[in-house]
């Protein structure tokens, strides 16, 4: 591990948190691990790793498509380093 882990706090709507916890659990991840994956990808690629538009319906459809790919096995994930949770 590169250095000591730090805490990051932010607020989510309760329904968003519950939905993410469920999705993460289905993928065998903690929310912390999922956010770490996201943060590493943003830091490495210097971009948000999915399209963001002002069209919220389009965003919802895009994210639902990703979730369908995950559930159907079309999405493939590579092994990565995780920070150990304390």
pLDDT at position 29: 92
d(CA 63, CA 48): 13
pLDDT (tens digit per residue) in 28-57 = 999 999 999 999 999 999 988 887 767 777
* Chain length of the chain: 86
Report which of 76, 69, 75, 7 is spatially closest to residue 36, judged by C-alpha positions.
Answer: 7
29 Cβ contact partners less than 8 Å away, ≥ 6 residues apart: 37
pLDDT at position 85: 58
Please tell me whether the overall predicted TM-score, pTM, comes out greater than 0.85 for this model.
no
pLDDT (tens digit per residue) in 5-21 = 889 898 988 999 999 99
pLDDT at position 36: 93
pLDDT (tens digit per residue) in 60-84 = 888 888 888 888 888 776 666 666 6
Report which of 85, 84, 86, 2 is spatially closest to residue 43, judged by C-alpha positions.
Answer: 2
């Amino acid at each position: 591990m590169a250095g000591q882990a730090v805490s990051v706090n932010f607020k989510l709507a309760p329904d968003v948190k519950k939905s993410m916890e469920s999705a993460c659990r289905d993928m065998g991840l903690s929310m912390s691990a999922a956010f770490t994956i996201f943060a590493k990808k943003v830091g490495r690629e210097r971009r948000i790793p999915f399209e963001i538009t002002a069209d919220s319906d389009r965003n919802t459809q895009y994210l639902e498509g990703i979730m369908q790919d995950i559930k159907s096995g079309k999405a493939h994930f590579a092994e990565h380093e995780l920070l150990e949770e304390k």
